[in-house]
Each structure stands twice: as structure tokens, then as C-alpha cells.
Amino acid sequence: GAVVSQHPSRVICKSGTSVKIECRSLDFQATTMFWYRQFPKQSLMLMATSNEGSKATYEQGVEKDKFLINHASLTLSTLTVTSAHPEDSSFYICSARGAGLGGGAGETQYFGPGTRLLVL
Amino acid sequence: QKEVEQDPGPLSVPEGAIVSLNCTYSNSAFQYFMWYRQYSRKGPELLMYTYSSGNKEDGRFTAQVDKSSKYISLFIRDSQPSDSATYLCAMKGGSSASKIIFGSGTRLSIRP
């Protein structure tokens, strides 16, 4: 149980284009989804938190107009990197926290496999 | 001072050894404590979670939380080469609105 998928697993795009990454909770309802960015050999950096049906809350220093987050349903959140530039190249990971997981596990987060973005 | 401190390693041990991974923290409000394993170029995988103090065992893995010392540990018995990964400790407060705070991760290598 508690499986989170991400698509695509890797994407290469030209500078200036937009890229959409999908995050799905496959066997539970994700009341909250999180988007992280991870640079090589570094820990996870939280970018934003989104609750289903409401606007995302962005961390300090993260441009909300550049990283558009939509959490339209309890099983799907999307991150769109708009006008991507080479410095946006990174490993983007979503995670989800939700109901029905039992035993206090609703307080934990389950991560997707990540999306590697390379902007040329 | 970071809220969560974790030695980045790398830590290299021979196969079969007992591995001890640790984190310290400063925020006494943390109630939930997690350990994640992350293989290279993959997302973190939840290994263990513990609420408040105490021990929890799952197969070869044991998680310990000592809230009085603000210290958590993960022990791996009979370590295998497949355990080679980065291990991230993580913790959060009791309210559902609180965020998970991650350690920087310890890179572990098990030598065959």
C-alpha cells in the first residue's frame, strides 16, 4: 500500500519551454501533496505544499509563477515548470500524505520515484 | 544550528556488520520520527516510522527514539550490499499542519 507514482521519470527539454510533471497516489487519497527538489548529493528541499482543492503554499524563495502547482483531485497533483532554464535542471520528487493509512501512518509521507529534469 | 543534524558520511562497513545511523535534533515539539532509504536516482522509500519515544523493530531494522536526549537511531543487522544507499532521518511535530524536517542523509556502503 501507499504507492505514489510520478510521470515522466525523466525529461529533457529546451530552454524556454514548459514541463509538466504528474504525481499520483495510487491506493490512497492524498489530502496533502508536497513537491521537493533535490540537487546531487544534497537532501530534499521542500518547494511547496498543496491541499486538494486549494492553492499551494510555497516555501520562501520559490517562485510560484515559475513552479505552478495544481492539486485538482485527491489522487493527482501536477507541477509545471514554466519557461524552464538550465538552472532548473534537478531531480523533482513529490510525496503524499493521506487518509485511510491507519496506525498514525497518515502523519508520514510517501514519496514518488522522482522526475529528472534536464534543461538544455 | 540546524533543526536536524545528520552525519553525511560516507560510511563503509563489511557485509554482515551491524550498522548504526544517528540523528540529533533541537525541536522538542517533534513527535513523529521516520527513516527513509534512498537509492541513487530514486525517490526516498519509507523504512520505519515511530511515534514518540521507544523502539520499533522490522526484520533487520530497528529504530530507536530517545526524546530526552533528542537522539534517534537506525540499526541495520546482518547488513547486505543491497542496503547500500543514502539514509535520511526525518521528523515532524504533532499537528497535521507541521512539516517534515529531513536530515541531510548518510551515505552508506556495504562492502561484499
Work out the average pLDDT over A59-63.
94
Q: Which residue has the higher pLDDT, B98 or B75?
A: B75
Q: Which residue has the higher pLDDT, A29 or B64?
A: B64
Which of B42, B46, B102 comes nearest A108 by C-beta?
A: B46
Given a cut of 60, is residue A101 above it in pLDDT? no
Q: Which residue has the higher pLDDT, B40 or A88?
A: A88
Locate the chain B residue with the closest alpha carbon to A50: B97
pLDDT at B93: 87
Q: How far apart are CA B67 and CA B38, in angstroms?
A: 25
pLDDT at A105: 47
Closest by Cα among B102, B104, B105, B97 to B34: B102
**Average pLDDT of chain A?**
89
- Mutation target among B3, B41, B52, B58 for the A interface, most CBs of A within 10 A: B41
Which H, E and C letters describe B77-109, residue by residue? CCCCHHHCEEEEEEEEECCCCCCCEECCCEEEE
Work out the average pLDDT over B41-66.
92
Interface of B with A (CB under 8 A): 32, 34, 36, 41-46, 49, 51, 88, 92, 96, 99-100, 102-105, 107
Whether residue B108 contacts residue B11, with contact meaning beta carbons closer than 8 Å, is answered with yes
